[in-house]
Amino acid sequence: MASEQLTKRIIACLDVDAGRVVKGVQFQQLRDAGDPAELALLHAEAGADEIVLLDITATSEGRKTLVDTVRRAAKHLFIPFTVGGGIRSLQDAGSIFDAGADKITINSAALANPALIEEIASRFGSQAVIVAIDVKRGEADAPEAEVCVAGGRKPTGRKTLEWAREAERRGAGEILLTSMDRDGTKLGFDCELTAAVAETVSIPVIASGGAGNATHFVEVFQHGKADAALAASIFHFGTHAVAELKQTLLQAGIPMRWPC
């Protein structure tokens, strides 16, 4: 019975550089179209189930701005709020939680030092730790897909399924799986890869990379067995985008939180 199911989550992602949202943002009622705090709130009001803020800033000055951005965004946000990008230590994670994030994502730092997952999970709880896995698989079969870092440029030699299993064992609460082959293409999520990971771990898997239309979300929930799906740019075309998406998904029989 659809009404008795845990709903699938729609996650709006904000890519932030030096305190400003950087992907094509077209919210019309915004005074300041690039303010992450304002955008996060609008996405929440529009029906997003969670907000993810990914910091793409590389400078230390920008890192300080991030904590301030997180604090401002968290202030009036009463849905789950995740922050990622450049978190390399327990201290980094602590300052992000202090600023009001509910969860953090770690990626290359976890690959370099897998014990970091345990460290953060044992201090803040597994529910607060999302391990982000970027995958570039090209023509390879899903089980052979390799984890990469540096925006897909640098292969790590780690196999995706094995790394996902290790992340779970070390205390990750969720996996954020990004297909670097699909990222930015709007060709749809990599359902085969998502399903392979979702069947390997028992923690929730968030699919990312490739969202272009509502059908892509239907596919990733039905065939990709994803627990949640994340997208950035497709939600930036107006506040009604999430509502319309959720209605389409409900019609396809996918449990959604709606009305919110």
Partner 1 sequence: MIAIVDYGAGNIRSVKKALEHLGVEAQVTADPQVIAAAEKIVMPGVGHFCRCDVLNKNLRESILGAISRGVPFLGICVGMQWLFGGSTEAPETCGANLFPGECSRFPAEVKSPHVGWNRIHIHNGSKLMRGVENGAFVYYTHSYRAPVVTETIASTEYGGVFSAAVENGNVFGVQFHPEKSGPTGLKILENFCGL
Site string for partner 1, 138-167 (x = CB under 8 A): ------------------------------
Question: Catalytic residue at 68?
Answer: no
Q: Which stretch binds partner 1 (CB under 8 A): 18-26, 122-130, 154-162, 185-193?
A: 122-130
Q: Is 128 an interacting residue with respect to partner 1 (CB under 8 A)?
A: yes
How many angstroms separate the CA atoms of 155 and 37, rounded? 34
Q: How far is CA 147 from CA 99, 106, 162, 190, in A?
A: 30, 14, 10, 14
Among 34, 152, 204, 212, binds partner 1 (CB under 8 A): 204
- Pick the catalytic residue: 35, 49, 134, 227? 134
How many angstroms separate the CA atoms of 127 and 168, rounded? 11
Q: 217, 154, 211: which is closest to 179 by C-alpha? A: 211
Site string for partner 1, 7-46 (x = CB under 8 A): xxx----------------------------------x--
CB atoms within 10 A of CB 31: 7
Q: Is 92 an interacting residue with respect to partner 1 (CB under 8 A)?
A: no
Q: Is 257 an interacting residue with respect to partner 1 (CB under 8 A)?
A: yes
Half-sphere exposure of 37 (CA within 13 A, CB side): 16
Half-sphere exposure of 211 (CA within 13 A, CB side): 26
How many angstroms separate the CA atoms of 179 and 225, rounded? 15
Q: Is 221 an interacting residue with respect to partner 1 (CB under 8 A)?
A: no
Q: Which stretch binds partner 1 (CB under 8 A): 72-80, 110-118, 184-192, 208-216?
A: 72-80
Among 3, 28, 29, 91, binds partner 1 (CB under 8 A): 3
Q: 239, 191, 198: which is closest to 216 by C-alpha? A: 191
How many angstroms separate the CA atoms of 16 and 56, rounded? 6
Among 126, 160, 178, 194, binds partner 1 (CB under 8 A): 126
E strand or H helix that includes residue 221: helix 214-222
Question: Catalytic residue at 190?
Answer: no
Residue 104 Cβ vs partner 1, minimum distance, rounded to whole Å? 12
Active-site residues, by number, are: 15, 134
Binding site for partner 1 (CB under 8 A): 3-9, 44, 49, 74-76, 78-80, 97-98, 100, 102, 124-128, 173-174, 202-204, 227-228, 257, 260
